[in-house]
Amino acid sequence: MSESTEKNDGQDNDTKDGALIKNDIQVITIIGEIEGHDNLPAASKATKYEHMLPKLTQIEMDDNVKGVLFVINTVGGDVSAGLALAEMIASMSKPTVSLIIGDSHSIGVPLAVSTKYSFIVPTATMIIHPVRMNGTLLGVRHTYDYFERISDRITSFIAKHSKVSKDRVEQMMVDTTQLSKDLGTVLVGRQAVEEGLICEVGGISKALEKLRTMINDKKDNI
């Protein structure tokens, strides 16, 4: 075996566009705020919607990528962009696993449950709260109806991709006992599993082990 071949054999890792490829597993981070149609300040940590969509498409088309791990630590962000990303992830044919390592708040909840299996570390939090809008509201009745439709899209998605019912998600959204200046529910670690939002408590080793099992199971079924 030549020296150049030996070097290439050891180069299993490739980092590109903020994503890490290890052998046949791709790792994608969803961090900071989900940026949508408006640009966030330059100093803000953000997951950019327009970068993620082509990246996910590329992964879906790449036969060398057998599974995807999404590492999540987000405070939420643009509802339309976040839900679009969640739908994109949910529609992928490859095995997917999410791991919440810090926060998965607001629109981060649909993102966390969009994968085929999910993990949360013991100290991570999820916050479910009603949809909001900044700025002047014109036509309050129509705006309220519009908000209800957006909320229904979110709760329906969460219920479809987790073990929690739509009614329970709606109850958690309007809980008045947990947040002093807001409506909503805070779930820490195992509480998210007990509610049925997340599959299991665990960290990076469990997430990678589960993803590898899912990849092998898919190979066996081909």
- Residues annotated catalytic, as ranges: 106, 129
- Euclidean distance between CA atoms 60 and 101, whole angstroms: 25
d(CA 92, CA 80): 19
Measured distance CA(132)–CA(78) in Å, rounded: 10
User: Within 13 Å of residue 217, how many CA atoms lie on the same side as its CB?
Assistant: 9
Cβ–Cβ under 8 Å, residues 120 and 162: no
Segment holding 80, helix H or strand E:
helix 79-90
C-alpha 149: how far from chain center:
21
Question: Among 54, 56, 14, 48, which residue's Cα sits nearest to residue 31?
Answer: 48
